[in-house]
Amino acid sequence: MAGLWNAGGAIASPNGNPQPGPRFDYKLRWFDRLIRHSAELLGEGSPAVLAGDFNVIPTDLDVYAPERWRDDALFRPEVRSAYHRLLGCARFTDATLESSTSAASSARWTIAASATTVNSSSARIAN
Burial bucket for residue 101 (CB in 10 Å: 0-12, 13-18, 19+)? exposed
Q: State pLDDT tens for residues 11-64.
A: 889 999 999 999 999 999 999 999 998 888 778 777 778 888 889 998 888 888
Which band of pLDDT confidence, cut at 50, 70 and 90, is reported for residue 105? very low
Contacts of 28 (CB under 8 A, 6+ apart): 16, 78, 79, 82
Task: Give 119's contacts (C-beta < 8 A, 6+ positions apart).
Answer: 64, 109, 110, 111, 112
- For the ranges 6-10, 23-27, 84-88, the one whose mean pLDDT is highest: 23-27
Instruction: Report the mean per-residue pLDDT for the chain.
Output: 76
- Confidence at residue 122, expressed as pLDDT on a 0 to 100 scale: 60
- CA 21 to each of CA 26, 47, 70: distance values in angstroms, whole numbers, following the listed order: 9, 36, 16
Residue 92 is predicted with a pLDDT of 76
What pLDDT shows up at residue 83?
Answer: 92
Which residue(s) pair with 48 in the sheet? Answer: 7
Report the C-alpha gap between 4 and 126 in whole angstroms: 26
pLDDT at 72: 95
Identify the CATH homologous superfamily for domain 8-106.
Answer: Endonuclease/exonuclease/phosphatase (3.60.10.10)
